[in-house]
């Protein structure tokens, strides 16, 4: 059974940093592109970033480029999102998802990030 | 403002069919066959329902179908059931620099 478990969310002040993790199991993690998708409270889904199977290609939505860094450790079956210079508008549930073959196929349950003073 | 336009809400009675539209441009929906649809129940993670415009993942009911005409993709749900009540999102690859765009979501109410 495919499982994706996010962790690392919490309350942080504007300008602060957080590192999200996503632990993967039940599939060949190193064979999949992976992505982070977020959902602000009461709002729709927004693609944040994705990363190629070997980590050699990374893409970001404009609003986080230069502040967020996606990375992965295939030996640990883990995906990460380093979030710096956080803004109030980054408040959201952050989901990790597999992203191969042009679809977000498997999703975690999400971790809530709240940016507030 | 979302890059893809969906109706905010649709409704239907059990057993009926409904269609949710997803309108983009020739740089996303109209230019690529990489439209997918997701169902999200309150407090839950999204679930993939349709990929590459019209393909259903294993385990998804054949009551769900997808199509595309020009810059508009559509999700049709036939034989509506109470458990279909949820939010539905479309997404598409885009060559406009963002790479992946979502619609604003459609709340489906089963009357």
In this prediction, residue A62 has a pLDDT band, given cuts at 50, 70 and 90, of very high
Strand order in the sheet with A111-115: A10-12, A111-115, A92-98, A34-39, A45-51, A58-60
Q: Which residue has the tokens 């690529």?
A: B32
Residue B43 neighbours by CB under 8 Å, 6+ apart: none
Does B98 contact A47 at a Cβ distance shorter than 8 Å?
A: yes
Q: What is the pLDDT of residue B98?
A: 74
Q: Is B92 in contact with B73 (CB distance < 8 Å)?
A: yes
Residues of chain A neighbouring B45 (CB-CB closer than 8 A)? 95, 107-110
Residues of chain B neighbouring A59 (CB-CB closer than 8 A)? 99
Alpha-carbon distance values, B91 to A5, A38, A50, B5, B71 (Å) = 23, 13, 15, 10, 13
Mean pLDDT to the nearest integer, B40-59: 97
Closest by CA to B67, choosing from B107, B17, B108, B104, is B17
How distant is the Cα of A61 from the closest Cα of chain B, in angstroms? 6
The mean pLDDT of chain B is: 95
Question: What residue spans of chain A are helical by DSSP H?
Answer: none
Q: What is the pLDDT of residue B97?
A: 75
């Amino acid at each position: 059974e495919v499982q994706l478990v996010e962790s690392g969310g919490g309350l942080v002040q504007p300008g602060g940093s957080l590192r999200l993790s996503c632990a993967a199991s039940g599939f060949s993690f190193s064979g999949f592109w992976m992505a982070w998708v977020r959902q602000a409270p009461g709002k729709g889904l927004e693609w944040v970033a994705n990363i190629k199977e070997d980590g050699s290609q990374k893409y970001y939505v404009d609003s986080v480029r230069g502040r967020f860094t996606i990375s992965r450790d295939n030996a640990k079956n883990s995906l990460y999102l380093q979030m710096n210079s956080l803004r109030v508008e980054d408040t959201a549930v952050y989901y990790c998802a597999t992203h191969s073959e042009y679809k977000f196929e498997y999703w975690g349950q999400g971790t809530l990030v709240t940016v507030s003073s | 403002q979302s890059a893809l336009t969906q109706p905010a809400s649709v409704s239907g009675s059990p057993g009926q069919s409904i269609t949710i539209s997803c309108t983009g441009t020739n740089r996303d929906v109209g230019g690529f066959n990489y439209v997918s649809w997701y169902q999200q129940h309150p407090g839950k993670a999204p679930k993939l329902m349709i990929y590459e415009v019209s393909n259903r993942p294993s385990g998804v009911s054949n009551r769900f179908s997808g199509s595309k005409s020009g810059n508009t993709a559509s999700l049709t749900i036939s034989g509506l059931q109470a458990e279909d009540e949820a939010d539905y999102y479309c997404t598409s690859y885009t060559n406009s620099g963002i790479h992946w765009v979502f619609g604003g979501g459609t709340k489906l109410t089963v009357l």
